[in-house]
Amino acid sequence: MAVYSLEGSQDSCYPDTTVLVNKLDIRTQELLTEAESVLVTSCSVKLEKTMRFENVDFDYYKNLHRQMFSDLYDWAGTVRKINISKKGTVFCKASDIERIGTLKFERLKKQKFLKEMKNDEFLDELTDLYHELNMLHPFREGNGRTLRLFVTLLVRNTGRDIDFNNADSDLLTIATIRAAQGDKSLLRSVFGELVLSP
């Protein structure tokens, strides 16, 4: 689970804690992280194999989150209502998420979901998309996992492949932080290693 700085640090949390209110009524962060890992990982693996890449828009993205996290959180699939930041990175204002998310997916649709691009252009656009959706950070929790699942489905839809299990998670984190600071070169390099061309 991410450690965020919040506007109202106990939003959606049990009283006097930063543990998110959850359907299993787990009240310690360690146990909730464990439960999340088991439930979300198994759901993600299943979705990666069964989810069709069609009618893709911002609602599709929110639905991925809903399916991954609905066993734990009532708010799964809904955009956050508070502003958040993490390790100095300030994410999209809550009031702008719906509008910007919709525009991002409209642009992706116009780009034919990157399907007809040659490898260099594809990697450039994939890097930009990953960065932009990361900065959107539409959910209260589970943004990275939703983003990685979506990117996996998107990449496979182009006839390429990607496996985030092969990624150095620390390097990917550093790359996303650098991208948030304006330098996307490391993030592009990470995708250059992860994406397998047809």
Amino acid identity of 197?
Answer: S
pTM comes to 0.93
Please answer whether residues 148 and 95 qualify as being in contact, where contact means their C-beta atoms are separated by less than 8 angstroms.
Answer: no
pLDDT in tens, 105-164: 999 999 999 999 999 999 999 999 999 999 999 999 999 999 999 999 999 999 999 999
Task: Please compute Rg for the chain using Cα positions.
Answer: 17
Rounded alpha-carbon distances, angstroms, from residue 82 to 3, 54, 140? 15, 30, 8
Give the separation between CA 176 and CA 80, rounded to whole angstroms: 21
Three-state DSSP state, 48: helix
Domains identified in the chain and CATH numbers: 5-194 (1.10.3290.10)
